[in-house]
Structure 1
Amino acid sequence: MNKMRFKALAAAVAVGGLFFAPGSVVQASAQQQVQLFHRLPDAKAAALKDLVERFNAQSKDVQVVLSAVDWRSGGAPHLMILEGDDEEEFVAGKPRFKPLHQLMKESGVPLKTLRPPAMMTRTPVNAKGQLLALPVGLSTPVLFLNRDALRQAGLNPDTTRINTWFELQETLGRLADTGHTCPYTVAEPGRVMVENLSAWHNEPVATQSGKTTVPSFNGMFQVKHVAMMASWTRARYLHVFNQQSEAEQRFANGECAVIAAPSASWTDFRRAGKVDVAVSKLPYYDDFPGAPQNTIADGPALWASAGKKPAEYKAVARFVSFWLQPDNQVAWQRETGYLPLNRAGLLASRSELLGNDLENIQVAVDQLGGKPATPQSSAQPVVEREKVRRILDEELAGVWADQKAAKEALDNAVTRARNGN
């Protein structure tokens, strides 16, 4: 993106009053180091490195240092970007973290982020909706399309409607008929087909058993969709690969024409430069009342370790505040594809100054917030656990191999998830 446009947008956001003041600057007599651990993929890691370098260049008394040591190695770093199994293990048991909302308040630095939505995974939020960690890597599954593949199938990518699953089926049929060997793939089958499509259709994935919430994602809706996907697999419309990275790589290389993948993958697809990418919302079934509803946001979060000194937490607060400044928010979205954390980022996603740089953000935000979340469409921690996702993908693999019926696979997955195996 043109640097002048970028600076103009950042100035407009700041002047417009849609972002909070950076907060008080803490002066220290000696330089304070803040150690930061992460396992972000390479492209996202490069964006983080750029952010850290910009912070260090304007801060003399606080310096952020990227660390290869996580909390398991004894002395925990001040900050850690965690997700999946790492995050679940970190937050289990005795508190190992300092709640972010408390850290910022005690440090005298405002924490003005977007209100955590009900459709966001609940790990970084407490029961009162206060942030325990900063969800720096949120994304939600969307549909990406190879415009050139559509053109080769005789379709106009600017006018082809893919709002419903049946419209997508017609498009995939055209792609297959014109020789495309991989019309459609899915980067994370369980996350897309069960977690998000259930929320998208306002269908429950968990129920109450006494005082306990248990997985129940084997209802009529889930069975219907997985059965239809099984028929697409047999018809060679859908190809499911063993790894998310393989599915995304095959789309990025032009082998697959359409993919359901995290909205943040937009930057990786465009950076690869081999595919003219379009992005749209996930399809829905128009015979389900109320659909489409909303999908679910998920991704890595920035956690602060417990047991640090007040001066260290003040240094952490300054870095968090810097991350949330308008120009840094815009750059973070543009370079990583992750969702906005505050009004500045949200405004940027709508700005014509950025052209289509944040088209994925626009689609994802519309998909997440088109309607108020319901109890059925809100995030369900018992289903979002990494272990449950692995169980679900393992059982669904039997469907793609034509070894299990959709209902059998989902029933097995629910039983295993409830039993913890």
Structure 2
Amino acid sequence: MDFAFDARTEELRERLLAFMEEYAYPAEPVAAEQRARLASPWDTPAVFGELKAEARRQGLWNLFLPSAEHGAGLTNLQYAPLAEITGRSPHLAPMATNCAAPDTGNMELLAQFGNEEQRKQWLEPLLAGEIRSAFAMTEPEVASSDATNIETRIERSADGGEYVVTGRKWFISGAMNPDCRIFIVMGKTDPEGADPRRQQSMILLPRDTPGVEVRRAMTVYGYEDHDHGGHAEVVFDGARVPAANLIGEEGTGFAIAQARLGPGRIHHCMRLIGMAERAIELMCRRAVERTAFGKPLAAQGVVQNWIADARVTVEQLRLLVLKTAWLMDTVGNRGAHTEIQAIKIATPRAVVQILDDAVQLHGAGGVSQDFPLAELWAAARTLRLADGPDEVHQRSLARRELKQYGAGRP
């Protein structure tokens, strides 16, 4: 068993680490300062454009896409350590390298399921970083962890030339950003269909379509997540688009969503490990710099326990994520289903605990804006819900395990 990264991954890691030190970390306070002077908090600070230009110049662009035609042509295993590095500055580095959700999942979806015209109109400007996008699936009135509950309607017009979209969504990431030009909307085209997983479809809905209202920003533990483009409540009130905007065929929306969410889950877990590494670094620096009760915090037993436990946990998580990435490359997402669910359960939960210990070590500073820990904690805690809550993945994983012992589906 070889644990070494290949030559291309190592070369990209070195370049990306240097980019983070020279450009990304110094840009964090600059972005905050610039945002405070913007006319709208949803506008993008100028430093983001500078970072994107530099990342593109260095070839650190679209690293997430395995297709050499559209992306860097990296495998999941090659991309994993790179995503971890960008996760150390999750509100800035993924955007700088055009590897930020929800655009990553939307680009993958369009590359895999979009037709030639849809890819030309929407995928190409997304790949170039010229526009942003949003994925509209979650709804406030139903338990969206069960996607068959989705109530938004996508109805064919009487003449068959258009679809009419009606519904209400929320926590639609990126939708507050003025550069968000396109929504990929999941809704029901056949709500009475016999198979509940064939009732849904997906459609491309330009943001400027009449009947589309971005109603408000949803906060996450009080954060509006400006750099990410926010999380919006969006209402579709009879929004009409050409029938050609349908992605794939009617009834394929559920399957497309599952194909989109698999890579998204592992990308989140990769970045979470980077967030944990940032927390460990901040803990260690704080521990050696601060004194309490006559000795450095680094000499306190409880602090040593936090740091040791964090290191052990991160090493465990990284191995599981790398194994999952390798399986996705070798046997496909379906063959790696168990491991994808395992990392989705284990990683956010464990990283939340590491960040919580880091906050505790920083005292009042840990919950303030002077350190990134509080915002990192909010982001990690949210990922116990995003792309399916822990309990849904636990339920599915347990059923798969029990099936080996003759337990049928309840």
Q: Same fold (TM over 0.5)?
A: no
Q: How high is the TM-score relative to the length of structure 1?
A: 0.27
Greater RCO (CA < 8 Å, at least 6 residues apart)? 1
Structure with the larger helix share: 2
Q: How high is the TM-score relative to the length of structure 2?
A: 0.28
